[in-house]
């Protein structure tokens, strides 16, 4: 039976520890199909919950920073006033909307994450969270990368296409936009960890 | 000795396969904790392999299309010739490099995918592929989104920042860049499906 257990189930370390302990205690055949105590899965679920809280903060910070980034220069000509705002650039609008959606999704996913803590073996729920997290990861990365491309252009301009750097005039605006991009990148990083943690919790161990 | 081996070492495929073979030959009782026949897991693995082939095509097509997108206008002034190439824009350079990396990774991952077909219960290997696929998904999405932001700007310009649309002059260049962005988006979509398929194959069902 013991060799059967270890060959049939492709045992990684934590369960192996549990299995070894059970073996040491000489638990008979019945314990075989469930060698893990669910302890490390509960740990992963708690970790997941904490990461979600962090991601909520960074996602909403990114949306709020970008959403409030407007700057009016203290001088104006006869024709127009020099003003920069996030909704001058469609990419930044997309960024604000996407990060707000991600933040909202994260808040709504908290109850599910709590259920995963209470019931570490709720595979279906965890798989649902994994699917939605993958979508949110893609959305966050897309928004962050697109905004980063525009922020880079605003900082450096491009002589080949005659796109001038606007950050010399609108320094504060660029600062806030850059900060928002950094926050979105952190959110994307947290999502990568969330996806991998969910996949690890799904592992048949 | 067999149980000690498999619990101490975090067994990948060969040990599991060998164990299963041994089990099939000798130990009949052990088949009980293995209710699934592994059939659908093999199906998922074959699906994974086919998706990888598609993703190789789209990723390399994206890199090649963007990498060959240069256009020289048939007129020039005293001072310079009008020419557009992907390396005029750092974002497009990043795009080409990122898609080439993703294409290379996909080619290198094919043997591992084949191993997953041969041994559908190789959990460790599948988890490794899942981690790398998640990274590649993030890279692809970032490259595609950043290039999309620049392509949008090249098509439409932005009156607020005085960035003029260059696609009126460089129509062919913009066409190729847009095509490359579409190809990268398809690659990203394939990666989402790959990640979810890997996670499903990891499910303890």
Q: Please indicate, yes or no, whether residues A71 and A120 belong to a single structural domain of this protein.
A: yes
Q: Is residue B28 a part of any domain in this protein?
A: no
Q: Which residue of B has its CA nearest to A166?
A: B161
Residue A179 has pLDDT above 90, yes or no: yes
Q: Please indicate, yes or no, whether residues A81 and A181 belong to a single structural domain of this protein.
A: yes
**pLDDT tens digits, one per residue of B75-128:** 666 666 677 888 888 999 999 999 999 999 999 999 999 998 998 878 888 889
- ipTM exceeding 0.85, yes/no: no
Q: What does DSSP assign to residue A119?
A: -
Q: Please indicate, yes or no, whether residues A50 and A150 belong to a single structural domain of this protein.
A: yes
Query: Would you tell me how many other CB atoms lie within 10 Å of the CB of residue B89?
Result: 25
A3 interaction partners in chain B (CB closer than 8 Å): 2-3, 6, 19, 22, 27, 30
* Section B131-141 average pLDDT: 95
CB contact under 8 A, B89 and A130: no
Task: Specify the length of chain A in residues.
Answer: 205
Tokens of B14: 């060969």
Q: Is residue B195 a part of any domain in this protein?
A: yes
Task: Specify the length of chain B in residues.
Answer: 205
Q: Does B158 touch chain A (CB under 8 A)?
A: yes
Q: Please indicate, yes or no, whether residues A100 and A144 belong to a single structural domain of this protein.
A: yes
Q: What is the residue range of A138's domain?
A: 38-202
Q: Please indicate, yes or no, whether residues A100 and A52 belong to a single structural domain of this protein.
A: yes
A123 interaction partners in chain B (CB closer than 8 Å): 203-205
Q: Is residue B55 a part of any domain in this protein?
A: yes
Residue A80 has pLDDT above 60, yes or no: yes
List the single residue in B144, B161, B202 with the smallest CB-CB distance to A203. Answer: B202
CB contact under 8 A, B127 and A200: yes
* Section B55-78 average pLDDT: 86
- The pLDDT-based confidence of A56 (bands split at 50, 70, 90) is very high
Q: Which residue of B has its CA nearest to A131?
A: B196
Chain A residues 66-125 with CB within 8 Å of chain B: 84, 88-91, 123
Query: Would you tell me how many other CB atoms lie within 10 Å of the CB of residue B204?
Result: 13
pTM equals 0.78
> For position B201, what pLDDT does the model report?
85
Mention every residue, 6+ apart, whose C-beta is less than 8 A from residue B26.
none
A40 interaction partners in chain B (CB closer than 8 Å): none
| Lowest-confidence region among A77-86, B66-75, B171-180, B186-195 | A77-86
Q: Does B141 touch chain A (CB under 8 A)?
A: yes
Name the range with the highest mean pLDDT among A113-127, B77-91, B118-132, B179-193.
B179-193
List the single residue in B19, B123, B150 with the smallest CB-CB distance to A7. Answer: B19
Q: Is residue B59 a part of any domain in this protein?
A: yes
B93 interaction partners in chain A (CB closer than 8 Å): none
Q: Please indicate, yes or no, whether residues A170 and A99 belong to a single structural domain of this protein.
A: yes
Q: Please indicate, yes or no, whether residues A4 and A104 belong to a single structural domain of this protein.
A: no
Q: Is residue B48 a part of any domain in this protein?
A: yes
Q: What backbone phi and psi angles, to 5 degrees, belong to A182?
A: -60, -45
Tokens of B8: 């101490």
> For position B38, what pLDDT does the model report?
63
- The pLDDT-based confidence of B37 (bands split at 50, 70, 90) is low
Q: What backbone phi and psi angles, to 5 degrees, belong to A76?
A: -150, 155
Nearest CA of chain B to the CA of A131: how many Å?
A: 7
Q: How many domains does chain A have?
A: 2
Q: Please indicate, yes or no, whether residues A47 and A14 belong to a single structural domain of this protein.
A: no
Rounded Cα–Cα distance for residues B63 and B91 (Å) = 13
**H or E element at residue A120:** none
Percent of chain B with pLDDT over 90: 47
């Amino acid at each position: 039976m013991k060799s059967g257990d270890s060959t049939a189930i492709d045992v990684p370390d934590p369960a192996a520890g549990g299995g070894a302990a059970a073996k040491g205690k000489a638990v008979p055949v019945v314990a075989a199909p469930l060698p893990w105590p669910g302890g490390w899965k509960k740990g992963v679920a708690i970790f997941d919950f904490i990461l979600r809280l962090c991601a909520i903060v960074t996602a909403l910070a990114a949306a709020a920073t970008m959403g409030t980034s407007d700057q009016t220069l203290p001088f104006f000509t006869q024709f127009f006033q020099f003003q920069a705002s996030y909704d001058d650039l469609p990419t930044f609008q997309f960024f604000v909307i996407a990060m707000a959606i991600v933040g909202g999704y994260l808040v709504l996913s908290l109850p599910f994450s709590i259920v995963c803590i209470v019931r570490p073996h709720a595979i279906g729920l965890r798989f649902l969270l994994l699917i939605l997290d993958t979508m949110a990861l893609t959305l966050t990365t897309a928004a962050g990368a697109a905004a980063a491309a525009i922020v880079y252009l605003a900082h450096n301009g491009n002589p080949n296409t005659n796109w001038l750097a606007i950050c010399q005039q609108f320094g504060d605006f660029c600062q806030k936009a850059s900060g928002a991009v950094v926050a979105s990148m952190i959110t994307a990083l947290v999502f990568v960890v969330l996806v991998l943690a969910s996949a690890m919790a799904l592992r048949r161990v």
